[in-house]
Amino acid sequence: MGSSPTSSASASSVVRSNRSPRAAFSALRLWGFRQWTAVAASAVATALIVGVPTAVVPTPFFGREIPVQWWNYPALALTALLSGLVLGTYLRPGPSSTTPAPGGRLGSVGGVLSFFAVGCPVCNKIVLLLLGTGGALSYWAPLQPLLALASVGLLAEAALRRLGGQAACPAPSA
């Protein structure tokens, strides 16, 4: 039996109506050890994947021409936390291991934006080719905090949508 247009529209409105912090927190209360372990591991992995190449996390492998700004640290921390939460929503208790809740693309875009937001403005080869060093410092660097806000906003929206979907239709526990 196929789904009708009205059933998919009503399912979409249910997910949209549960896209709230209250619904997200109620979904988080249903999570078990497996989900929280995935959140912690994903958050650490995201912090390293974004922080090491951008030299926000200091290593001998990468360096920066421009020093790390104060806002790079909270932006990286929020990106890691929200990415961990979004990735944790893909694990469900019970027989189903994935969920078709919306928000996956928003999380991907938010993660990529965070990489550009916290990176060194003159280390980005694309920006250097398009704007040159002066343009990277004059135009790109002032836009980076806005990219960080957009990144965190997209990741938060993705988390709210995915957690709202779990709250609307929780999977039975095993």
Q: pLDDT 10s digit of each residue in the chain, 174 long?
A: 444 444 444 444 444 456 788 888 888 888 889 899 999 999 999 999 999 999 999 999 988 888 999 999 999 999 999 999 999 888 865 444 444 555 557 777 888 888 888 888 888 888 889 899 898 899 999 999 999 999 999 999 999 988 887 766 665 555
Residue 21 vs residues 113, 161, 163: alpha-carbon distances, Å: 23, 10, 9
DSSP per-residue letters across 19-81: -SHHHHHHHHHT--HHHHHHHHHHHHHHHHHHHTTTTSS--SS---SSPPPTTHHHHHHHHHH
pLDDT of residue 11: 47
CA distances from residue 8 to 13, 108, 113, 145 in whole angstroms, order as listed: 9, 24, 31, 38
For residue 53, count CB atoms less than 10 angstroms from its CB and return exposed for 0-12, middle for 13-18, buried for 19 or more.
middle
